[in-house]
Amino acid sequence: MPDRIEIRARATALRASFEAAGAQLVETDILQPAEVLLDLYGEDIRGRAYVTSDAMRGEQMLRPDFTVPVVQMHMAHGAEPARYTYSGEVFRRQEDDPERANEYTQVGYEVFDRENPIEADAEVFAVIKNALGNQPLRAATGDIGILRAAVEGLQTTERRKAALRRHIWRPRRFRALIDRYAGRADVPAARLALLAAEDPFAAAGPEIGLRSRSEVEARIQALREDAAAEPLAPREVALIDAILSVRETLPNALEQLRDIAVDLPAISASVEGLSRRMKALEKRGIDVTTLDFEASYGRTSMEYYDGFVFGFHAASRPDLPAVATGGRYDALCRVLGQGRVIPAVGGVIRPDLLIALEAGK
C-alpha cells in the first residue's frame, strides 16, 4: 500500500476537487463521545469500534467515520443548503482479516439540501465518480427506501414490521424473521413450552440477571401475541423475495420494480423516486444503461443509510473493500436534529485504495 505522505497528498487533491464543487472544508475531532454514536452505527461498526473511558467525559471512541460527527455539527449550527468536505483518518478493529487496515484515510463530500433530494443524490454520485478518475471501477447502486416501503406495506402487526425494519441491515436475520412470520420455520420446542405454560415462572428458580420480572413478563406476552398473529400471506412473501432478487442494469431494474409495484402499491412512491433519480443521473452525464442496480445493495453497510446507496468496486481486485461508498441518511438527521429535519446524502473515497489501483498493485 502507498505510504502516508502519498495518501495525504492524494487526500488533499481530492478534497480540493470537492471544494471546487462548492463544498466547505470542515474538521471533526478524532476522539468522539461514544454513548450517542454507538447507537447510530450499524452492528458491524459498533463491534469494531475502539472504545475507551475518560474520567471526565465518560466513554469515548476513535471515530469510525465522519458522517455522524458532520451531521451533529450541521444540525447544531449549519446553514441551508450546505455542502461539506473533509479528510482524515478513521479507525476500525479488524478481528477476522489481519490484512485489512484498521486505520485509514477517508475523503468525503456531503450535501444537505431540502429543495431537491433526488438532484442531490445524483450530484453526490457524479462528484464522487468524477473524483475517482479513469480507473475501471464497477459502480453499484441500490435504494434501501424501496425495501423499507415494502415492509411498511405488509399486512401484519406493527411489532413485526418494527422487527423487520430493525433487521433490514442484517440479511440473514431479516430472512429468518420473514420465514418465521410466514410460518415456514419450526418454532423451537422450548418456546412452545414457554408459551403453553400457565405459569412460566413456576420452575424458573431465583431471579438473576439484569431484566426485571415485569420485563420478562412483557416479553412473554409479546411472544404470545406474535404466535397468535396471522402468518404473512405467501403472496406478500413472494413480493418481498421478488424485490430482493432484483439485480439488473438500472433501466431494467426500474421496469421490474414497477411490475412488482402493481401488486405491492406501498413501494410505488419509492419506485417513482428511483425513476426521477435515473433521469437526474442522466442529466449529469452518467450512462445509466450500464449502471448496476441491486435491491439488496447496502444492506451490510452503515445502518443510518435509508435511501439511495452506492459503491465503486475494483472488478480486478474483489478482495479489496469498496474504493468509494455513499448514500442517503435522512433518518440520521432526524435523530440528531432534535426535531429539525433536513434531507442529506454523502459519499467517501479511500485514497489509499485508489493509489494502489493506479499503481497496479
What is the model's pLDDT at position 98? Answer: 66
- The count of residues in the chain is 361
Q: How many angstroms separate the CA atoms of 186 and 217, rounded?
A: 23
**pTM given for the model:** 0.88
Q: Which residue is listed with cell 408459551?
A: 195
What is the model's pLDDT at position 161? Answer: 95
Q: What is the DSSP string of 276-339?
A: HHHHHHHHTT--GGG-EEETTTTTTS-TT--SEEEEEEETT-TTSPPSEEEEE-HHHHHHHTTT
What is the model's pLDDT at position 40? Answer: 65
Mean pLDDT, each 10-residue run in order, the chain (361 residues): 87 97 94 72 66 80 87 85 94 72 91 94 98 92 96 94 91 93 81 70 70 75 79 96 97 98 97 98 97 92 86 88 94 79 94 89 58
Q: How many angstroms separate the CA atoms of 278 and 119, rounded?
A: 10
What is the model's pLDDT at position 37? Answer: 64
Question: Could you report the per-residue pLDDT of 222-238, keeping only the tens digit for each?
Answer: 777 777 789 999 999 99
Contacts of 143 (CB under 8 A, 6+ apart): 270, 273, 274, 293, 295, 307, 308, 309
φ, ψ dihedrals at 344, nearest 5°: -150, 150
C-alpha cell at 275: 425513476
CB 286 within 8 A of CB 122: yes
- Listed as own residue / partner, the contacts of 96-100 with beta carbons closer than 8 Å and 24 or more positions apart are 100/321
- The residues facing 349 across adjacent strands are 107, 324
Q: How far is the first Cα of the chain from the last one, in angstroms, to the nearest whole number?
A: 8
- Closest by Cα among 140, 144, 171, 147 to 161: 147
